[in-house]
Amino acid sequence: MAVQGEVTGVVATGSGRAGGSAEPAGLLALAVRLAREAAGVASAMRSAAITDIATKTTRTDVVTAADVAVERYVGAALRRLRPGDSLLGEEAGERAGTRAGGAGTVRWILDPIDGTVNYLYGLPQWAVSLAVEVDGQVVAGVVRNGVTGQEWTALRGHGAYHRGRPVRGSGVTELGQALVATGFGYAPDRRAYQARVLAGLLPAVRDIRRLGSAALDLCLAAQGRVDAYFEKGLNLWDHAAGALVAAEAGLRVTGLAGAAPGPELVLAAPAGIHRQLHDLLVALEAAGGP
C-alpha cells in the first residue's frame, strides 16, 4: 500500500512490511496509519461510554479504559509489524523490541490520548500523538485530533504538514501581540507556582490559551493558530511528535537557558519572539518550582 506522504509528497510504502527498515518516510506512513486506527478506537469507545476511570499522580490526573486500549492496540500492531522496535507509551512505559540495539534502532513514542481530561468531558481537543525515533533522534511524527480528524505530520528536514498542506508558524515580532498557549500540572503546589508565573506573563502578551493538549498546542503553534506555546512538566510522549511538527514549521523549540526541551520546560516560538518570551520566562523562573 503506497501512502501519499503528507509531509513531503514522498510516496512511502505504508505496508508495515518495513520490517526492520529505519527509513523515515516509511516509518511516517506506518505512524499515520496507526494513529488513524488508534483515534478510531478511542472515538468508538467515547461514543459507547467512558469506563474504568482511574487516577495517577493526583485525583484529577485521570486515565480511562480508552487510554489503555489505544496503547494496547498500537503496541500489538507494532509487535506484529515491527517486532524489533521498542515502544515508550504513557500508560505502560517502556517496552523493548527484539532488536538488540545497533545502528538503525527504532523507538516509537506514544501518547494514546493526549488531552485525557478533554476526552473525559467530551471536549473536542484530544489527540493521538505518535513519534518515531531512529538512533535516539525523532525523525517522524503524527498528531491526530480524534474528534475533528485534523492531522499534522512532520518528517525531519522535510517540513510539517496539516491535511497535506505545508504549515509555517506565526510571523509575530512583538511579544505584546502574541497569543500564547500553555498548560498546567495536576499537583496543587505546582499549579500555585504556575499561576504566579502566569500572573507575570499575562500583562506582557496579547492573551493566553489553555486548550488542554500539549500535542495539539504545539501543532496549533506550528500553524500560527497560536503564536507560541510553553509548558513545564511535560513527559516525552506529550511533546515528541508535536515538537517535531513545530520545529519543521520553523519554530524554535527549546528549554530555557540553553536546556533542551523537556520536563523542566518546553518552549515553542517563532524567531520573531522566541528571545523575548524566553527571557521573560527565565525572569519569571518558569522552569522552577515544584
Burial letters 245-275, b for 16+ CB under 10 A, else e: bbbbbbbbbbbbeeeebeebbbbbbbebbbe
Distance CA 64, CA 52 (A): 6
Does residue number 223 form part of the binding site for ligand LIP (CB under 6 A)?
no
Q: Which of 6, 71, 151, 238 binds ligand LIP (CB under 6 A)?
A: 238
Scanning the structure block, which residue is given the C-alpha cell 523537556?
262
Distance CA 48, CA 211 (A): 24
Q: Which of 5, 26, 183, 224 binds ligand LIP (CB under 6 A)?
A: 183
Cell representation of residue 47: 461514543
CB of 143 to ligand LIP, least distance (A): 11
Nearer to ligand LIP, 8 or 116 (CB): 116
Phi, psi dihedral angles at 149 (to 5 degrees) = 80, 0
Count interface residues toward ligand LIP (CB under 6 A): 14
Side-chain half-sphere CA neighbours of 192 within 13 A: 4
> Nearest residue to ligand LIP, using CB?
183
CB of 197 to ligand LIP, least distance (A): 14
Residues within window 243-282 making contact with ligand LIP, judged by CB under 6 A: none
Site string for ligand LIP, 78-117 (x = CB under 6 A): ------------x--------------------x--xxx-
Does residue number 242 form part of the binding site for ligand LIP (CB under 6 A)?
no
Question: Residue 70's beta-bridge partner residues?
Answer: none
CB of 127 to ligand LIP, least distance (A): 8
- DSSP per-residue codes, 44-107: HHHHH-----EESSSTTSEE-HHHHHHHHHHHHHHHHH-TT-EEEETTTEEE--SS--STT-EE
Does residue number 230 form part of the binding site for ligand LIP (CB under 6 A)?
no
CB of 194 to ligand LIP, least distance (A): 10
Site string for ligand LIP, 28-67 (x = CB under 6 A): ----------------------------------------
Kindly give, in sequence order, each residue whose CB lies less than 8 Å from that of residue 70, ignoring residues fewer than 6 positions away: 38, 41, 42, 112, 113, 128
Q: Which of 161, 184, 193, 230 binds ligand LIP (CB under 6 A)?
A: 184
Q: Report which residue type is found at 219.
A: C
Does residue number 213 form part of the binding site for ligand LIP (CB under 6 A)?
yes
Q: Which residues bind ligand LIP (CB under 6 A)?
A: 90, 111, 114-116, 183-186, 212-214, 231, 238
